[in-house]
Structure 1
């Protein structure tokens, strides 16, 4: 068994103001995504993106926050928030859903691109390859907070989490950081140029990177959920799957359908 490296969740205190590791991870993730998007736009010579990246980033961040909170309310604890609706905006108390945040960002990006005439599928491919970076740092933040820990195990790398009782558990946050973060990023980043190649070079239509992310994230998260502690207010659905696994199965199906749909599409013009 490994010793859990207890780290103060509060990085810095300035009177009533607190800077927490978890919030810092969000800032690092959003900043890294911004820089990587700019790098790709320059590399692929998509000059029009430079005119929209700041406003589009703001729309996506709002979509992530609003979607993540509403996703948690609807997917994970609807009964509680139905009885306590005034607590729905209280995101500082915890409770965010990745799947909800993804849907919120997807909708915000789609509406922004539709309004400005920006190619949505092209922008989606540009952004989606940066998402695993934010996931990596977000899961590290979960680990520092000692939350979203795994199920009880006798594995030699198990840890006793302060909020998880006296028995050793899987450090599932680190599993997710590795699979959903590092490995997924490497896969997407090494294949990201494919949709930007012209048709004569066997390029893929834009949108397939988004489909690849949906499928791979759905698979990775589905597997990790087998060793992650289910949400206590829900438990296992049918004594088999967690809510996260149900949502990941839907995500995987959406990825397959999108992949098939975009692979049959005509390769788009690259100066649109």
Structure 2
């Protein structure tokens, strides 16, 4: 403990923000889908994994990380379109358990398909040359790629907020989340809204996958761990709350980072302790609303 300095604490804070950025991307996609469709998407981790593998495929095909970064979430979002239209939509109105079980099974199918195509071993995904190394941020040197990850997450969250809060289509989405029947009466095809939201949610998961690829191993089972992390963050923030997903994602990342610094053996448990503490005080999460599961 004697070697702990303010600069080290500040660097650890940035490490937590970088880790939290991944949590934010995962939880935002999960919250979008649940908040409007009331679908607990257990395939979310699999979409994250698919995003990483699509990035690997595109990188091998083009040799360009930036092309992979743009098109991987688009392709995963397109997969999400098909899943919502042909698998999830027929289950609306049958209770929350039906899409939950369907997406759970879908996640297993996606993992097995990737195992067939790529095998059980992990595949490499190097940090792009432009983002390698570290930069001096005034308190020490910090990996450039992690700063890039924080910046991309901030821009995406801002773009989503502007889309949902400041556009006419965002108004329809918010209205559809509160009362889809009224939206239908007003002549809006709510099924198209559900389709787009599901695609955005899965696309963001795919983006999280490719952004995480240079930092985490790209293996078929990589989605299993992050699915648990995503649900922890979503529960802490409040099911269906976008602002909750952002705040909780960053909070969990910082808590894990500082626990790793002071008590490394308990770093994996820290997020669950945080979740338990939050739920004891606020059973619906930091920004959650009563009745969403009802």
Regarding TM over 0.5, the answer is: no
Q: Report which of the two has the higher share of helix.
A: 2
Q: Which of structures 1 and 2 has the larger relative contact order (alpha carbons within 8 angstroms, sep 6+)?
A: 2
